[in-house]
Amino acid sequence: MPATPESLKESFLRALAPDSQFYRLFDHLPGISFFAKNSRFQFICANQHFVESLGYKQEQELIGKDDFDIFPTRLAETFRQDDSEVLRTGQARMNLIELFFNPQGIPDWFITNKLPVRDRKGRVIGIMGTTQSYGHAVETVHPYLHIERALTYIRQHFREKVRVEDLASMVHLSTRQLHRKFVETFGVSPQAFIMKLRIQAACDALQHEDAQISSIALDLGFCDQSSFTQHFHRHIGMTPLKYQRQFRLVRKTPE
């Protein structure tokens, strides 16, 4: 009796040696990082690109650590929220936009995909994922090519008033077509994408000791502090003042 596709696959996977590392393939895909975490959110494996991007030399230095051991609190909390959702639902989360801000306040973002890892009984026991920089994603992922110019403009001008009509004109699409492209690619509308950038930038700014909420609101393009507070609370779940008190950086003054 000929083997079924399912039995062939199961037989092959069961025969693998414990130290077989399929993910090493990602070491040969430029710009792609791979990682996997267990149900306690600890890193259990990663390709070399991911390891080195975090400042380590060998995979063993990363294993057992979690995001809070490596990243600033705000970023770690964002990553943990996404991971928890995958563990809870067993559903993949694709094309997540994860943002970092350089010292000049310009966003560098990464496109991340996260999928559940299951045991032989189908139970979710961890998360695996890939991440790549926005710049590399634009070069390699077809959907981004249609809106690359709009994304570049948003990255440079998200603190200003950005009109969706202008973005659509840049990439020779109607506003409806642009909206559809953003939803297909990032899961959100252009307006929501810009607001996410502003809120993440606000989170970074609020952690500094000398930060003034009113100044941050104006710098990020909100009409006033009240509007900023409403949007911030909707996205983060607390007011800017409460966030600032909880996460602001404590700078030691010289004696």
CB 157 within 8 A of CB 66: no
pLDDT confidence bin for 126, thresholds 50/70/90: very high
Q: Which CATH number fits domain 142-247: 3.50.80.10, 1.10.10.60, 3.30.565.10, 1.25.40.20?
A: 1.10.10.60
Between 152 and 226, name the one with better pLDDT.
226
Q: Which residue type is seen at 191?
A: Q
Return the domain boundaries, the chain.
Answer: 21-137, 142-247
Domain 21-137, CATH: 3.30.450.20
| Lowest-confidence region among 45-54, 142-151, 167-176, 228-237 | 142-151
Q: Does residue 141 carry a pLDDT above 70? A: no
Domains 21-137 and 142-247 share a fold: no
| Lowest-confidence region among 66-75, 105-114, 144-153, 213-222 | 105-114
| Residue 82, helix vs strand vs coil | helix
Q: Does residue 177 carry a pLDDT above 90? A: yes
Q: Return the axis-axis angle of helices 240-247 and 225-236, rounded to nearest 10°.
A: 60
